[in-house]
């Protein structure tokens, strides 16, 4: 049954393309690109709607469409730790065969977690936390993914979680679209396009510090979005 996958994170290693994938529900998953192999930017993260069906015990057909228009179809053989992947990007079909490895999220195995594992896990926590709190407006996410004392460096926000708890329900038309993500040690960095936080769209660099799997400190840099045709270089901000 598909429920056996829910809440679990796996590393999909397809050679040049390496992805961390989390099954959040039978119809939703999220991923972080560790190595894009030229098909996706390293660090790209996204939440996608899944079409997930069990073919036989331990073998699943899984497919989704990404915001870029890329389509992905997997045969995921968890019984044999083997992944068969068809990816279409800009009209070109790519075929891969790779491996599946479950990523442990048990805090008792912390001593065995590599630096790369810790960075990937912290990234997944931040992405899930931001989606549940801001996109879904689920205030209970503050209890799951943040912790007091919460240290806030954003110049217009005081310390503590009460400000977030009060601000989130009033956000209208909010969207948080991370374009680039990096992680080092206990820090996660996101470069995002954000609607609904200010009167117009803004580009925000957020820095989150995590402790024991919870967000405990935050910095940000906020810029108004300038169209590419109006920038000095002619290049987009995000």
Q: What pLDDT, in 10s, does the model give residues 138-149?
A: 999 999 899 999
Q: What does the alpha-carbon distance between residue 42 and residue 201 come to, in Å, rounded to a whole number?
A: 24
Residue 7: pLDDT band with limits 50, 70, 90:
confident
pLDDT at 41: 81
Distances (CA, A) of 37 to 18, 98, 112, 180, 203: 8, 14, 27, 16, 26
Which H or E run includes 123? helix 115-130
Percent of the chain having pLDDT more than 70? 94
Q: What does the alpha-carbon distance between residue 192 and residue 202 come to, in Å, rounded to a whole number?
A: 8
Asked if residue 182 has pLDDT above 80, the reply is yes
pLDDT at 106: 46
Name the strands in the sheet holding 175-184, side by side, starting at the edge strand that comes first in the sequence.
Answer: 146-152, 214-224, 202-211, 187-195, 175-184
Distance of CA 84 to the CA centre of its chain: 23
Q: Domain boundaries in the chain?
A: 2-103, 117-228
Q: Say which residue the tokens 């469409």 belong to.
A: 65
Backbone angles phi, psi at 197, to 5 degrees: -90, -30
Residues 32-54: tens digit of each pLDDT: 888 888 888 877 888 889 999 99
Asked if residue 111 has pLDDT above 50, the reply is no
Domain 2-103, CATH class in plain words: mainly beta
Residues 183-237: tens digit of each pLDDT: 888 899 999 999 988 888 999 999 999 988 899 999 999 999 998 899 999 998 9
Q: What does the alpha-carbon distance between residue 47 and residue 65 come to, in Å, rounded to a whole number?
A: 10
Tell me if the domain spanning 117-228 has CATH number 3.40.50.9100.
Answer: no
Percent of the chain having pLDDT more than 90? 53
What's the pTM?
0.56
Tokens of 162: 């009460």
Residues 70-106: tens digit of each pLDDT: 999 999 999 899 999 999 999 999 999 999 999 865 4
């Amino acid at each position: 049954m598909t429920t056996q996958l829910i809440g679990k994170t796996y590393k999909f290693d397809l050679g040049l393309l390496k992805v961390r994938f989390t099954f959040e529900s039978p119809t939703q998953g999220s991923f972080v690109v560790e190595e894009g192999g030229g098909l996706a930017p390293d660090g790209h993260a996204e939440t996608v709607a899944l079409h997930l069906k069990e073919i036989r015990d331990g073998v699943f057909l899984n497919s989704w469409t990404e915001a870029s228009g890329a389509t992905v179809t997997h045969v995921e053989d968890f019984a044999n730790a083997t992944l068969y992947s068809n990816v279409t990007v800009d009209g070109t079909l790519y075929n891969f065969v790779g491996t599946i490895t479950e990523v442990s999220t048990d805090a008792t195995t912390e001593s065995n977690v590599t630096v790369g594992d810790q960075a990937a896990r912290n990234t997944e926590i931040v992405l899930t936390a931001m989606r549940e709190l801001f996109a879904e407006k689920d205030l209970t996410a503050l209890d799951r993914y943040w912790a007091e004392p919460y240290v806030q460096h954003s110049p217009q926000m005081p310390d503590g979680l009460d400000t977030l708890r009060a601000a989130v329900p009033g956000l209208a038309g909010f969207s948080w679209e991370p374009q680039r993500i990096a992680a080092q040690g206990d820090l996660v960095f996101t470069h995002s396009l954000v609607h609904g936080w200010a009167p117009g769209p803004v580009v925000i660099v957020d820095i989150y510090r995590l402790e024991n799997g919870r967000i405990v400190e935050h910095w940000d840099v906020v810029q108004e979005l300038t169209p590419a045709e109006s920038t000095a270089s002619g290049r987009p901000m995000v």
